[in-house]
Amino acid sequence: MHHSINTYRTTAIVSTVFLAACASKEPARVAAPEPVQDVIAQVEVAPEQVASPAGAIGGVAFPELQGVWLSGCNPMFEEDPEEGFQTTTVTIVGNNFTSNSKIYADAACTKNLERGFLQSGGSMQMNAVISRPGGSVSTAIGLAPHMDIDPQSFTIDKQPLKANLQPFMPLDVEYNIVALEAGSVMYLGESRDSSEVRPTELKLSARFVKQ
């Protein structure tokens, strides 16, 4: 089953949006993102995870995306908004990509969703390593480089997934694109599970603003 940031998996909750959902379409109930400085302090760039992909500068795949990015309040599933809404915080430090999502019952993202397949959980995180394999596509925002997102772990309340949830969140590489507008707004496409079907359009209805 493919887990994505919806925007998105974020995104966290990617459209993607790293924001997060599974194909059962049951939304997760998660806690509010942590303060920005706390999130940055918790993300350590492991040397063995820092590759030198095409387009990287000093081993960092996306130097222009470093920092913390916050989505607005978006439907978990645009075709079925009754399933809930979400906000997602994406933190990029080096080549480490972390998303943290919170699910709501209303379009203003003010009321917690009191149901979902993660009823015992609070916050939900995806910890991944990103790379820049080369290549880009032309979009309404401009050129969007290819981005590969390689999940290393999914956690609930920063605890490992229980065995019954692991099949819903496999550690499968996601193939996506990313674009930056005016240096402060990030857009992703809809993550795919194969580079051959990598998205060619951005999801402009969901955006991440740099904090």
Q: Three-class SS string for 144-168?
A: EEEEEEEEEEEEECCEECCCCCHHH
Give the model's confidence band at 118: pLDDT under 50 very low, under 70 low, under 90 confident, else very high. low
User: Does residue 56 form part of some domain?
Assistant: yes
User: Does residue 26 form part of some domain?
Assistant: no
Nearest to 80 by CA among 17, 1, 24: 24
Give the model's confidence band at 53: pLDDT under 50 very low, under 70 low, under 90 confident, else very high. very low
Query: Is-contact 30 115, C-beta < 8 A?
Result: no
> Could you tell me the residue range of the domain that residue 55 belongs to?
36-210
Query: Which of these ranges, 84-88, 115-119, 163-167, has the smallest mean pLDDT?
Result: 115-119
80 or 123: whose pLDDT is higher? 80
β-bridge mates for residue 192, sequence order = 175
Query: Is-contact 62 180, C-beta < 8 A?
Result: no
User: Does residue 76 form part of some domain?
Assistant: yes
User: Does residue 155 form part of some domain?
Assistant: yes
The dihedral built from the CA positions of residue 162, 2, 175 and 187, taken in this order, carries a sign that is: negative
Question: Which pLDDT score is estimated for 31?
Answer: 39
Query: Is-contact 88 18, C-beta < 8 A?
Result: yes
Q: What is the mean pLDDT of residues 49-55?
A: 43
Query: Which of these ranges, 11-20, 34-43, 45-54, 121-130, has the smallest mean pLDDT?
Result: 11-20
58 by Cβ neighbours in 10 Å (0-12 / 13-18 / 19+) ranks as exposed
User: Does residue 75 form part of some domain?
Assistant: yes
Q: How many CB atoms lie within 10 A of CB 39?
A: 19
Q: Which two tokens stand for residue 89?
A: 């915080």
Whole-angstrom Cα distance, residue 136 to residue 122? Answer: 37
Question: Which pLDDT score is estimated for 135?
Answer: 96
Question: Which pLDDT score is estimated for 3?
Answer: 44
pLDDT (tens digit, 9 = 90+) per residue, 60-95? 999 999 999 999 998 877 778 777 888 899 999 999
Give the model's confidence band at 133: pLDDT under 50 very low, under 70 low, under 90 confident, else very high. very high
Task: Give residues with Cβ within 8 angstroms of 2, minimum separation 6.
Answer: 23, 170, 172, 174, 191, 193
User: Does residue 80 form part of some domain?
Assistant: yes
Q: Percent of the chain at pLDDT above 70?
A: 68
Q: Percent of the chain at pLDDT above 90?
A: 45
Query: Is-contact 133 164, C-beta < 8 A?
Result: no
Whole-angstrom Cα distance, residue 16 to residue 59? Answer: 24
Residue type, 108: A
User: Does residue 185 form part of some domain?
Assistant: yes
User: Does residue 156 form part of some domain?
Assistant: yes
Q: Number of folded domains in the chain?
A: 1
Whether residue 49 has pLDDT greater than 90 = no
Whether residue 185 has pLDDT greater than 80 = yes
Mean pLDDT computed over every residue of the chain: 75
Q: What is the mean pLDDT of residues 36-40?
A: 40
Question: Which pLDDT score is estimated for 92?
Answer: 98
